[in-house]
A = this chain, B = another copy of it.
Amino acid sequence: MKAAIFEGAGKPLTIGDIPSPDPGPHELILKVKACGICGSDLHCTEHGPFTLPEGSVMGHEFSGEVVGLGTGVQGRFAEGERVTALPVIIPPIPPVGLEDAEPWMRPDMQPIGLGQIPGAYAEYVRVGVTQTRRLPENVSFEQGALVEPLTVGLHAVNRAEMRSGDNVLVLGAGPIGLASTAFALRMGAANVVVSEMTDQRRALAESVGATATIDARGNVLEQFAEKTGALMPDVVIEAVGVPGMVQQAVDFVKPRGRVVVVGVCQQQDQMMPMVAIMKEVGLQFVLGYEPRDWDTVLSFIASDRLRVDHLVTDRVGFDAFPGAFEALRTPSTQCKVMLKPE
């Protein structure tokens, strides 16, 4: 089958031919219909300690059609069903001694599209049956491929332990910041203000419902107060991921407020613990999501309470894909770029 193959840091992906996957007993094969490019894919194809092995196939934000069924699937899915899936495979039989563990927390969980199990920058992808979710009738394949990054935002908001009426400041209006914005609004925030650099991204923030946007290059708290009437946010969600942002979030948040750090800063960073102490800040770092969050996101899209189509700014086939991927390494006005294999 066709796939976009990682050839090593500094080199563009190539479109090549690799063997199609076969389903294990508790697995499905999907014909990929849409797969988003995630910022992490860009990061882990750079030189550094976390570079993927050559030959890897990435792609962990996808949807597709069921075309192959493992022997243990037992009628739970049928060929032709439209689905998305958590990008992990969890063996159905727990390792000896871990029968009591929550499956999602088990060490034998394997990621899809991040170096271990080949991902969905390909015609077909192999997924776990218990990780697969049907797309409701009115949810498109593209929306299905957005569920993964949206769920990251939902989880970030969940861990903010918001009270209804809280004022929220989101730093960064990439896909993750936008998803966090959308869910903060749907989980009782009074104001959700988004701080960003460029006009285009601020416009996107408004399109997902941000009650106000501010210019990240100006005085953030002054703009925040002007837009909300509140001096400081109750909750700050950091969705940028460069050095200095954690301290900024701590500086911005209200005394006794909460900061959720979803942005991934891979370098050493600096902070002033004293500032966090004097305000009794709670700093929650977050990773990924819980399985049930996927169902929540799907039900929000299906009931038309989460409009996300405009987050997809570009759609490309295999031929244009390596170029589109490289283009994302430099600042742009794109939001989510989708591989559409056919």
Task: Give A183-215 interface residues, CB cut-off 8 Å to B.
Answer: 183, 185-188, 190-191, 211
Tell me if A217 counts as interface (CB < 8 A to partner B): no
Nearest-neighbour CB distance to chain B for A42, whole angstroms, equals 16
Tell me if A325 counts as interface (CB < 8 A to partner B): no
Contact check, B190 vs A188: say whether CB atoms are below 8 A apart: no
Q: Which B residues are CB-close (under 8 A) to A183?
A: 164, 188
Tell me if A15 counts as interface (CB < 8 A to partner B): no
Tell me if A332 counts as interface (CB < 8 A to partner B): no
Q: Tell me which of A59-67, A118-126, A292-300 binds B.
A: A292-300
Q: How many copies does the complex hold?
A: 4
Contact check, A74 vs B96: say whether CB atoms are below 8 A apart: yes
> How far, in angstroms, from A296 to B277 measured CA to CA in the complex?
23
Contact check, B273 vs A270: say whether CB atoms are below 8 A apart: no
Most chain B CB within 10 A, of A76, A90, A96, is at: A96
Interface string of A89-121 (1 = CB under 8 A from B): 010111011011011100000000000000000
> How far, in angstroms, from A23 to B300 measured CA to CA in the complex?
48
Residue of B nearest to A72 (CB): B96
**Set B104, B158, B277: member contacting A287, Cβ < 8 A:** B277
Q: Which B residues are CB-close (under 8 A) to A99?
A: 26, 90, 92, 103, 129-130
Q: Which B residues are CB-close (under 8 A) to A285?
A: 273, 276-277, 279-283
Q: Which B residues are CB-close (under 8 A) to A264?
A: 273-274, 277
Contact check, B93 vs A93: say whether CB atoms are below 8 A apart: yes
Q: Which B residues are CB-close (under 8 A) to A191?
A: 299, 303
Most chain B CB within 10 A, of A76, A94, A191, A285, is at: A285
Tell me if A339 counts as interface (CB < 8 A to partner B): no
Tell me if A291 counts as interface (CB < 8 A to partner B): yes
> How far, in angstroms, from A136 to B77 measured CA to CA in the complex?
47
Q: Which B residues are CB-close (under 8 A) to A261?
A: 273, 276-277
Tell me if A314 counts as interface (CB < 8 A to partner B): no
Q: Which B residues are CB-close (under 8 A) to A94?
A: 92
Q: Which B residues are CB-close (under 8 A) to A100?
A: 103-104, 130-131, 291
A-B contact pairs, 10 of them (CB 8 A): A76-B96, A100-B103, A154-B164, A165-B295, A185-B305, A187-B188, A188-B296, A190-B299, A261-B277, A276-B285
The 3 closest A-B pairs by CB, nearest first: A165-B296, A283-B283, A190-B299
